[in-house]
Amino acid sequence: MDAEITVTELSADLVPAVVRLCEQALDLPEDAAEAAPIVDVLWPRAAGDRRVVGLGAYRDADLVGVLICSESSTEPGIGHVDLVAVLPQQRRRGVGRSLLRRAEQVLAERGVTEVLLAGNPPYYAWPGIDVRYTPAVCAALALGYQQDRTAWNMTADLSYDGSPALRSTEAAERRLADQGVTVRRAEPRDLPALTAFARATFGGTWDGELSGSVGRDGAGCHLAERGGEVLGFAAYGSSRPSWFGPMGTAPAAEGSGIGGVLLRRCLRDQQAAGLDRAQIGWVGPVPFYSGSAGAWIERVFFLYRRTLTE
């Protein structure tokens, strides 16, 4: 007979144990390989911006599952489940459900009225549940979560120098220079102008993702400017080393070729760091990334929500 599951709140000193469990419990190789940065962005880094709780499921003294949840920093009353991971041999034995129910209780005690199984930008590792994580989809449905959105990533091939994702940008940069546009790597001193541009032009939380990209190991950003005015940016590595984004171009500069130049500059950085594939996360303009980098839709995510009742 199974030992009873005990769910407790985890202290920050258990982050290494959570990483070790995720390395075993995340089925997709690309996720397991980045277990350490995933846990880091969702827990220690996110905790500087919002309230985060780590939960552990134990059988006797063995940690068999973990969950990380957080409150939205922009939408009062909204909570997010950012990560659920259960050891393969412990699945379909109530571990995931116990973790989710406890997370709902913890979040409700903090005033949350609706829980999302969806990314909580600017600190997130996935838009939602990858459709290939079937046990997670089943658990969400069994607990009354309703799917309300679908999101997808695109993949850029960085494995060979002739890849469309790595096409030279030299000619395009010369054309832009003739128009007075400079393209360069962003530095920490550029952050105030970049974040102000992102907030004013696009809103949302891209300013936070830029802060996680500029000047941080395993991450970076490139920008385009004219006369000291930012016209566009592209960043990578804010949430995960293999992930590209966000990027944005001023409406007045759309169609100038700035976006494609900034994108491929970042992808070349990621190849130089040893990556053979890059994930373009939570994609909007599919045709742009397909044309500019030969990227294709690969990862698909279901996003769920549930209203908590008394």
pLDDT per residue as tens digits for the range 195-244? 999 999 998 899 999 999 999 999 999 999 999 999 999 999 999 999 99
pLDDT band at 192 (very low <50, low <70, confident <90, very high): very high
Does residue 146 sit in helix, strand or coil?
A: strand
Give alpha helix (H) positions in the chain: 15-25, 29-32, 35-40, 95-109, 134-142, 170-178, 191-202, 206-211, 258-272, 286-293
Write down all domains in the chain, each with its CATH number in brackets: 5-144 (3.40.630.30), 156-299 (3.40.630.30)
254 band by pLDDT with thresholds 50, 70 and 90: confident
State how far the Cα of 228 lies from the Cα of 230, in Å rounded to an integer: 6
Distance between CA 161 and CA 183 in Å, rounded? Answer: 22
Q: What is the pLDDT of residues 60-70, one digit of tens each?
A: 899 999 999 99
CA–CA distance, 220 with 209 (Å, rounded to integer): 11
pLDDT digits 0-9 by tens, 107-134: 999 999 999 999 999 999 999 999 999 9
Rounded to whole angstroms, the Cα distance separating 182 from 265 reads 13
Position 143 scores a pLDDT of 93
pLDDT value for 310:
57
- Tell how strand 243-249 and strand 277-280 pair up: parallel
Q: Is the dihedral of CA 264, 268, 269, 271 positive or negative?
A: positive
First to last CA, the chain: 33
Taken as a whole, the chain contains a residue count of: 310
- What would the mean pLDDT of 243-249 be, rounded to a whole number? 96
Pairwise CA distance, residues 222 & 122, whole Å:
18
Alpha carbon dihedral 19, 20, 24, 30, in 10-degree steps, equals 40
pLDDT in the model for residue 204 = 85
Whether 239 and 124 have beta carbons less than 8 Å apart is answered as: yes
**What is the rounded distance in angstroms from the CA atom of residue 299 to the CA atom of residue 30?**
11
Is there a contact between 144 and 115 (Cβ–Cβ < 8 Å)? no
pLDDT at 1 exceeding the cut of 60: no
CA 231/CA 244 separation, integer angstroms: 19
Instruction: Check: pTM over 0.85? Answer yes or no.
Output: yes
Q: Is residue 274's pLDDT more than 70?
A: yes
**Residue 92 — very low, low, confident or very high, per pLDDT cuts 50/70/90?**
confident
Say which residue the tokens 């940065």 belong to. Answer: 37
Reported as half-sphere exposure (CB side, CA atoms, 13 A), residue 286 has a value of 8
pLDDT-derived band at 2, boundaries 50, 70, 90: low
